[in-house]
Amino acid sequence: MQTFNTVAGLRRYLQQARLEKAAIGFVPTMGALHDGHIALIQTAVRENDLTVCSIFVNPVQFNNPDDLQKYPRTLEADSLQLQEAGCDVLFAPEVTEMYPQAPIVSFGFGPLETVMEGTFRPGHFSGVGIVVAKLFNIVEPDKAYFGQKDLQQTAVVRALVRDLSFPVDIRICPTLRESDGLAMSSRNTRLTAQERTIAPQLFQVLKTCKKELLAGIPVETARQHADAAFAAMEGFRLEYLEIVDAVSLQPLTRRGAPETTAICVAAYLGEVRLIDNLVF
Ligand code: AMP
């Protein structure tokens, strides 16, 4: 695996690969890699001639300075995992390489950011838009891989690609979970042992809510039941639990056709903010 820390070095290398007509797959990450990230890499390796992974903890998408400071950074271990998974290129720039000065451009995503993460993390999706646009311009991938775990992010990235005509095929991969149902996340390593034992309850509430909706219980009632379940669970502080259209992300008043309903949740467990969703 080749590792690059500079935009110029990576561009030179990829230019040559492109001349040789290599199809380039790209997996942007913030590192502290787990099996969910590695599944994205493995899919990219299967579907492309050359796979590029970026590891960059993007400061402009953090609305909480404490979260940015405490974000786990494990570059050496990440690099080994990527190599084992068959990744060809790692791009791991410093902040000053990506942002020689603080960016003055910003993005708005209209109705996609007036709900859920957009409400609770002001400026977050603008920061995501900036880094994804930059990385697409640097890597110029044929395909880029994102996890359904960050459902709203996938909608924002699709809008970015559509509205700005990026020639990139966006592939969404399923959420990988621990055996007890907890969605894998880099932030899970920050949970205390006690918090880790109760963390899977988040997924249990999503599953119960899904079951109720499939049984025909009205959307608003199912949502209230889920709210009540959170209120009864010690340790969690619920930010939102929304039942939305899986594409527009707008709240639903009744369940739609199969695969168009999404239940999305964000909750603090101690100091750690967890998100998860189910689409069905
Ligand atoms: P992050 O490093 O958290 O920015 O995530 C990088 C990519 O991995 C994003 O597209 C995430 O949606 C995806 N991802 C994170 N957790 C999971 C998971 N548990 N399963 C599948 N994909 C994931």
Q: What is the number of the ligand 1 atom nearest to the C-alpha of 174?
A: 21
CA distances from 49 to 44, 79, 88, 144, 207 (A): 9, 19, 9, 13, 38
Residue 116, phi-psi category: left (phi > 0), alpha (psi -120 to 50), beta (remainder): left
Exposed/middle/buried for 77, CB within 10 Å: 0-12, 13-18, 19+?
Answer: exposed
In angstroms, the CA 167 to CA 276 distance is 29
Q: What string of pLDDT tens digits covers the 280 residues of the chain?
A: 999 999 999 999 999 999 999 999 999 999 999 999 999 999 999 999 999 999 999 999 999 999 999 999 999 999 999 999 999 999 999 999 999 999 999 999 999 999 999 999 999 999 999 999 999 999 999 999 999 999 999 999 999 999 999 999 999 999 999 999 999 999 999 999 999 999 999 999 999 999 999 999 999 999 999 999 999 999 999 999 999 999 999 999 999 899 999 999 999 999 999 999 999 9
Q: Is 36 in the pocket of ligand 1 (CB under 6 A)?
A: yes
Write out the two tokens for 46: 């299967």
Contact 198/233 with Cβ under 8 angstroms? Answer: yes
Q: What is the residue whose two structure tokens read 């959170």? A: 230
Q: What is the residue whose two structure tokens read 């599944």? A: 39
Write out the two tokens for 142: 């044929």
Ligand 1 pocket: which of 29, 37, 41, 52 to mutate (most atoms within 8 A of CB): 37
- How confident is the model at residue 60, as a pLDDT? 98
Secondary structure class of 175 (helix, strand, coil) = coil
In angstroms, the CA 151 to CA 240 distance is 14
- How confident is the model at residue 279, as a pLDDT? 98
Contact 121/266 with Cβ under 8 angstroms? Answer: no
Q: Which residues contact 106 (CB under 8 A, 6 or more apart)?
A: 123, 126, 130
Nearest C-alpha neighbor of 11 from the set 78, 75, 88, 91? 91
Ligand 1 pocket: which of 150, 172, 176, 177 to mutate (most atoms within 8 A of CB): 150
Q: What is the number of the ligand 1 atom nearest to the C-alpha of 30?
A: 2
- How confident is the model at residue 256, as a pLDDT? 87
| DSSP code string of 84-115 | HHT--EEE---HHHH-SS--------GGGGSS
Contact 206/196 with Cβ under 8 angstroms? Answer: no
CA distances from 129 to 20, 97, 106 (A): 30, 18, 8
Q: How many CA atoms lie within 13 A of 157 on its CB side?
A: 25
In angstroms, the CA 102 to CA 98 distance is 9
Residues annotated as catalytic are 37
Exposed/middle/buried for 138, CB within 10 Å: 0-12, 13-18, 19+?
Answer: buried
- Separation of 26 CA from ligand 1 center, angstroms? 13
- Separation of 37 CA from ligand 1 center, angstroms? 6
Exposed/middle/buried for 141, CB within 10 Å: 0-12, 13-18, 19+?
Answer: buried
Q: What is the number of the ligand 1 atom nearest to the C-alpha of 33?
A: 2
